[in-house]
Amino acid sequence: MATYKQLIAERQALEAQLAEVRASEVAGVIEKIQKLMAEYELTVDDIATKRHRGRPAGAGRVKPATKAKSELPPKYMDPKTGATWSGRGRAPAWLGKHRAKFLIPEA
């Protein structure tokens, strides 16, 4: 069985061999591409894809109609000022911890 150091040395040798082979093949590929570009009179702009992020605005989508938000009836009322609160959102300071005493009785 091979040792760890032997396997590392083999991996480094293979990586060096891979780099050499890739460099030689890349040179040939670039040469072929340049020949074809010259033959068909292409430029880099012809080959490069125009990248657009996402889909165009409004393409293939129908925006749903938004409902008008109806105002909620008040649930709580400050008897001193007459200020009301519907129970949604941030609670007003006048409400305090004892909400029951500010509750508006249902009609």
Question: What's phi and psi for 69, nearest 5 deg?
Answer: -80, 125
Please report the pLDDT score of residue 105 as a whole number.
86
Q: Are strands 76-77 and 84-85 parallel, antiparallel or unpaired?
A: antiparallel
**Do residues 105 and 77 touch, judged by C-beta distance below 8 A?**
no
* Residue 12 is assigned to a structural domain of this protein: yes
- The answer to the question of residue 53 being in a domain is no
The answer to the question of residue 79 being in a domain is yes
- Determine the Cα–Cα distance for residues 56 and 69; give it in Å rounded to an integer: 30
3-state helix, strand, coil in the chain (%, to 5): 45, 5, 50
Is pLDDT at 5 greater than 90 in this prediction? yes
**Residue 77 in domain:** yes
Does 62 fall in a domain?
no
57 lies in some domain: no
Amino acid at 103: L
pTM for the structure as a whole: 0.38
The pLDDT assigned to 97 comes to 87
Domain boundaries, position 91 = 72-107
Is residue 64 situated within a structural domain?
no
Query: Is residue 88 a part of any domain in this protein?
Result: yes
Rounded average pLDDT over 3-9: 94
Q: How many domains does one find in the chain?
A: 2
User: Residue 11 — pLDDT band, cuts 50, 70, 90?
Assistant: very high
